[in-house]
């Protein structure tokens, strides 16, 4: 299904990104890997054994709209186009009550989650609409759905990302492009849920579970699913 699709993964060097890149490569996609450092992107491609003609780097600080556009252009120039964006830029701060919150912390989180999302959407979605097919997916977070104490900066930023993506979903409806989120609490990078089960990690989500949901969202069979939050946090 994904054969020869060009899938751009932001946060490709992250906990989730590496697994997602591996799964999509195995499904036949060509990959645009986006991150802030070329050497880290090259290392991911080398570690995963990606053939040189099946991936391209896009080096960018996605908080900057010009850098985002340049990274997308360099991937499209090398691989022909961008069909899918999996937006996996991470970053978390927390532990401070709202009354003590430093505005700089809020700005940092908004830069990381709201502005990177806006910049990658604006750099990719118009071409997807013109092509009549496209997929955007990202990872939402439980604090974005319900108030969690001492998580305001992160929660506000992830809520902004969620709202932006679900608004785009409404705006592209019927064009062949979709935008969806999967919702998780904690990503279980080391599979502790299985190796050392506790009450706390019982509701964590593995990177492989997220990648599988993304594969479905990027299939033709998921064409009607748009603007959804797919709950992968065991809670619904």
Ligand X SMILES: NC(=O)c1ccc[n+]([C@@H]2O[C@H](COP(=O)([O-])OP(=O)(O)OC[C@H]3O[C@@H](n4cnc5c(N)ncnc54)[C@H](OP(=O)(O)O)[C@@H]3O)[C@@H](O)[C@H]2O)c1
Interface with ligand X includes 62 (CB under 6 A)?
yes
Look at residue 30 and give its three-state secondary structure.
strand
Interface with ligand X includes 231 (CB under 6 A)?
no
Shortest CA distance to 177 belongs to which of 212, 232, 217?
217
Q: Specify the DSSP element, H or E, that contains 76.
A: helix 65-79
- The CA-based angle 42-88-160, given to 5 degrees, is 150
Among 184, 222, 230, 232, binds ligand X (CB under 6 A): 184
Interface with ligand X includes 78 (CB under 6 A)?
no
Positions in 120-149 near ligand X (CB under 6 A): 139, 141
Q: Are 90 and 138 in contact (CB under 8 A)?
A: no
> 90 vs 176, which CB is nearer to ligand X?
90
The nearest distance, CB 195 to ligand X, in angstroms, is 17
Interface with ligand X includes 91 (CB under 6 A)?
yes
Interface with ligand X includes 40 (CB under 6 A)?
yes
The nearest distance, CB 118 to ligand X, in angstroms, is 13
Interface with ligand X includes 36 (CB under 6 A)?
yes
Nearby residues of 41 by Cβ (< 8 Å), 6 or more positions away: 12, 13, 33, 34, 35, 57, 58, 59
Interface with ligand X includes 219 (CB under 6 A)?
no
């Amino acid at each position: 299904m994904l054969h020869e699709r060009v899938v751009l993964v932001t946060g490709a060097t992250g906990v989730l990104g590496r697994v997602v890149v591996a799964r999509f490569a195995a499904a036949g996609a060509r990959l645009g890997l986006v991150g802030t450092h070329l050497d880290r992107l090259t290392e991911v491609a080398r570690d995963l054994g990606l053939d040189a003609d099946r991936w391209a780097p896009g080096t960018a600080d996605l908080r900057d709209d010009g850098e985002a556009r340049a990274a997308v252009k360099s991937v499209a120039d090398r691989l022909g186009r961008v069909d899918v964006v999996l937006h996996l830029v991470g970053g978390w701060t927390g532990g401070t009550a709202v009354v003590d919150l430093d505005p700089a912390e809020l700005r940092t989180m908004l830069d990381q989650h709201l502005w990177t999302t806006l910049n990658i959407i604006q750099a990719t979605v118009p071409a997807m609409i013109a092509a009549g097919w496209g997929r955007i997916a990202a990872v939402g977070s439980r604090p974005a759905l319900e108030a969690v104490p001492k998580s305001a900066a992160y929660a506000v930023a992830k809520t902004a990302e969620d709202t932006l993506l679900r608004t785009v979903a409404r705006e592209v409806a019927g064009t062949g492009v979709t935008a969806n989120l999967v919702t998780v609490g904690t990503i279980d990078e080391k599979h502790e849920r299985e190796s050392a089960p506790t009450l706390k990690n019982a509701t964590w989500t593995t990177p492989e579970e997220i990648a599988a949901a993304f594969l479905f969202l990027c299939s033709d069979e998921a064409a009607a699913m748009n603007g959804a939050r797919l709950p992968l946090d065991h809670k619904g």
